[in-house]
Amino acid sequence: MKKKFVLKLWLIIIGLVGLMAVAYAAITTHFQRSLQTQVQQELHATLAQDLVDEKFKDDVPFNADGSVNKAFFGDLMHNMMAINRTIEIYLLDESGRILYSVVLDPKENDAAQLVPLEPIQQFINRENGEVIKGVDPTDPGNKKIFSAAPYSTDLGDGYVYIILEGNKLASVNASILDTELATFTLWLLVITSLFIMAIGLGAVTLVTRNLRRMTAVITDFRDGDLQARILNPSESDFPVYAQAFNEMANTITSNLEELKGVDELRRNLIANVSHDLRTPLAIIRGYAETVKDSLQDLPLEKQHKYLSIIESNSQKLTGLVEQLFEYSKLEARQIQPHKEHFSISDLAQDIIVKYELLAKEKSIDLKLNKAQENIMAHADVALMERAIENLLQNAIKYTQEHGEVVIDIQQIGTDCKVSVIDNGAGIEEEFQKSIFARFQTAPSSRGQGTGIGLAIVQKIMELHDTTIELVSRKQQGSTFSFMLPA
């Protein structure tokens, strides 16, 4: 790919310089021809006037009957044109009609034999060597430089009109010009090509230097060096592409790290879920087999006890499966909040009542603090109930016996703040940032739970455009809090 790019770059440069060479040759030839034309007209500007002054003084250009003295003019024109084969001489009357010429046989009332007088008058009155072109009677569609002068005789007035670039000169010029232009262009292209070859390699090398460096970095990254980056991308010849590659590489590396982390969490989840599933399943199986094998001899009281244990562990399994299912739906955003105004203090009171028995089993004091009797919130009631219950379950689970768990609700401006506070074991500082990640548990949990509860809480907060905050100190307890609009 790099070779193709360099080849294209070479072809573009050669093409551009070649076009410049052709254009330069054409422009140079044009200006050279213009200069030659100007010089030729300036050198022969007085040719017609000299002819009138010298020849018309002693000889009569017209016969007694008013006709042109063809013998006189024929010899005169042949002699001058023999000396200078590039000129063509015409005798005009005062209206511009051609009276005589050895190169053109005039026909009466033929419009092609009329020479416009305006250029002739401009030439006679010109200043500063201005180039003026007039009509060539042998080629009316082509204007050429000329010399002109007025004459006056007793038999008539008019002009001597001399074309300085006759057809012979035009023919020779065209042939020579084509040859010279082709030769000049060819040499110019050869010299230019050599010049390009001399400096082109260095220029292409300089232009593609950063590109080669970028290609090397990209190749290293492709071959597995995930730390390969383009240094100083803003100073590169291709800053947009260099910056884009670095950002892409960072994204890919970040995604790979995230995948590694997810894989690690997946392994932890499998281990935790396997443990959490294995224990209640083993209990259920063991007690079910006991009841089955000893049904006739087992006292009724023990039967009820064993069945209660089976029921409790079945509920634990059901809760775990429901948590996994609920989290997957939240993560896929299959659950959308149905927000409404409700009493968050009443909801908290109902949750306290629901978990009083569980708290009493560990002699934990479960309380509700509220700044006023009725505090309102705008949210999805069911999702808020789920979030507060998860926080409360965690607090009770990780608080030692005779501890305290408090749900605190405060009105702050137009919002309300809900906090779940415990004085339990606390969470290590290095795990506080990741505690809300899915399947993540702190070491102090000693393998309790699967780490899904807090992940569910965070997803619920995201659906409500708010965040869950944690303040925790080792052996001093934890506080989970979030804000809701009132």
Q: For residue 406, what pLDDT is reported?
A: 94
Full pLDDT tens readout for the chain, 486 residues: 455 666 666 677 777 776 776 777 677 767 777 777 777 777 788 888 888 887 776 656 777 777 777 777 777 777 776 667 778 888 888 888 888 887 765 454 444 478 898 988 888 888 776 788 888 888 887 888 888 989 887 777 889 888 887 655 555 555 565 566 667 667 766 777 677 666 666 666 766 777 778 888 888 888 888 888 888 888 777 788 888 888 898 888 888 887 776 677 666 666 666 666 676 777 788 878 877 777 677 787 877 887 888 887 787 777 777 776 776 777 666 778 899 999 999 999 999 998 998 899 889 999 998 767 789 999 999 899 989 998 998 899 888 898 999 999 999 889 999 999 998 888 887 777 767 765 555 545 444 555 678 888 888 999 899 999 999 888 888 999 999 998
Query: Within 13 Å, how many C-alpha atoms sit on residue 214's CB side?
Result: 21
What are the Cα distances from residue 295, in Å, to 280, 290, 303? 21, 8, 8
What's residue 447's pLDDT? 47
Instruction: Give the pTM.
Output: 0.43
Write down the pLDDT at residue 428.
Answer: 83
Which bin fits 335, alpha (ψ -120 to 50), beta or left (φ > 0)? beta
- Please enumerate in sequence order all residues whose Cβ is within 8 A of that of 32, keeping only pairs 6 or more positions apart, or say none: none
Is residue 423 a contact partner of residue 399, using CB atoms and an 8 Å limit? Answer: yes
Quote the CA–CA distance of 297 and 303 in Å, as a whole number.
10
Please name the CATH architecture into which domain 45-163 falls: 2-Layer Sandwich (3.30)
CATH class, range 236-334? mainly alpha
Q: Considering the domain delimited by 336-485, tell me its CATH architecture.
A: 2-Layer Sandwich (3.30)
Helices (H), 294-421: 300-331, 344-361, 381-397
